[in-house]
Amino acid sequence: MKSWITYNSNCDFSIYNIPFGIYSINGGKKRVASIIGSKVIDICELFKNGYLVEFPELNTSVLENEYLNDFISLGKKSTSKIRKKIQHLFSNENYGLSKNFEHQQSILLNELEVEFHLPIRIENYTDFYSSMDHARNVGTMFRDPENALLPNWKHIPIGYHGRASSITVSGTNFCRPMGQTKAPDAENPVFGPSKLLDFELEMGFVIGKNTELGNAISTDEAADYIFGLSLFNDWSARDIQTWEYVPLGPFLSKNFCSTLSPWIITMEALEAFRIKGPEQNPKVLDYLSFKQDFHFDVNLQVSITPEGSEETVVSNSNFKYMYWNMLQQLAHHTVNGCNVKVGDLYASGTISGPEKGSFGSMLEITWRGTEPIKMKDGTERKFINDNDTVTITGFALKDDVRVGFGKAEAKALPAKVK
């Protein structure tokens, strides 16, 4: 496919993509949008100008909306057809909208002139721990290297319920968190700003339909419940986490902020990038076994940009490194009857590959701060400094088909110390 909207070959938002998000202009009404190249497509204006008449389920209340939840709730049968229609409208083979410059004025907007918003209303958020390389690295650092993985790790997709209210859209800066920390040689903890602020390279998947309390989702059904994927940075305060996480897991060390990219990439757009995952040994229990390949070859990169300086790439990783896949995560999450809602967000957990250059956190990259990394401006980083901007990007590429994710980016501001 080719589009009459021009873009270069390494553009994230080719006509093969057609993601969905929410935008506004100058504080105006929020609307459902897509994007090709650098042109944001106002889907509400497409509807108002008669380009989506074959979709009676659409209306202005769905499309002129703060979130995508109502749009997603139309179901994949509808949203997939709407996505394909948008592809057709903007392909070289269609001459309607491409020649109607008056309609283009209201439908197409410059990416740099609009504001993007959190794309979904997130009532529930779960963070998994599904990268074996990451789990092994952390276990080696903090426990016995010979028994880095806990006994349950290869039997259960480990996860915990996180805080949904502090998930923010890319571009939303945050203050360094405060909390209790305790030095190894100290008798008592102290209170103050975290000194070991870290990023966590993750992917998030969005639930596309509801279930009732008491019903489980099998691995055979799970793909139908996943609307799409976004980049995710689950910021972490490692020193606060070390002191608080036993016995109930992270709390203040994780709930202060997470960063989500503004575009949700549909599963249809990612179909060509499905691959076989790693062999799981020992054999999983029956409810976690699956038939279809559901790992994805998505290149991921993390960079740090000190204030007033240039960015330094600190990680090149890939979503394919996950041990547990999304089908298993969702099946495990619901096997006890836990219900899910449209817009619920599930994060992969930190994505790390087998080599240092593919690790997904500063904790691993600098090996708990013992091996600082050099920035291009000559400074060093053990963890994230005040006014550093961390940017996560991602794209899938096969032959000439590229589907990108945009970016999840935020700056760490100094703590609000009273």
Q: What is the DSSP string of 242-257?
A: HHH-TTT--STTTTT-
User: 391, 303 in Cβ contact below 8 A?
Assistant: yes
- Are residues 405 and 12 in contact, defined by beta-carbon separation less than 8 angstroms? yes
7 burial class (0-12, 13-18, 19+ CB within 10 angstroms)? Answer: middle
Select which of 88, 103, 134, 295 is catalytic. 134
Instruction: With residue 309 as reference, give the H or E element that holds it.
Output: none
Taking phi over 0 as left and psi of -120 to 50 as alpha, with beta for the rest, 226 belongs to: beta
Task: Please enumerate in sequence order all residues whose Cβ is within 8 A of that of 249, keeping only pairs 6 or more positions apart, or say none.
Answer: 160
CA dihedral 58, 121, 334, 271 (to 10 degrees): 60
Angle at Cα 26 formed by Cα 24 and Cα 30, nearest 5°? Answer: 20
Two tokens, residue 108: 């197409």
| Cβ(201)–Cβ(361) below 8 Å | yes
Instruction: Give the ranges where 112-153 is alpha helix by DSSP (H).
Output: 132-142
Residue 295 appears among annotated catalytic residues = no
- How far is Cα of residue 38 from the mean position of the Cα atoms in its chain? 21
Written as six digits, the tokens of 83 are 């996505």
Yes or no: say if 222 and 185 are a contact pair by the CB < 8 Å rule: no
Written as six digits, the tokens of 145 are 């290297």
CA atoms within 13 A on the CB side of 286: 0
Q: Which residues 6+ apart lie within 8 Å of 222 measured at CB?
A: 326, 327, 330, 331
Nearest to 51 by CA among 105, 90, 8: 90
Active-site residue list: 134
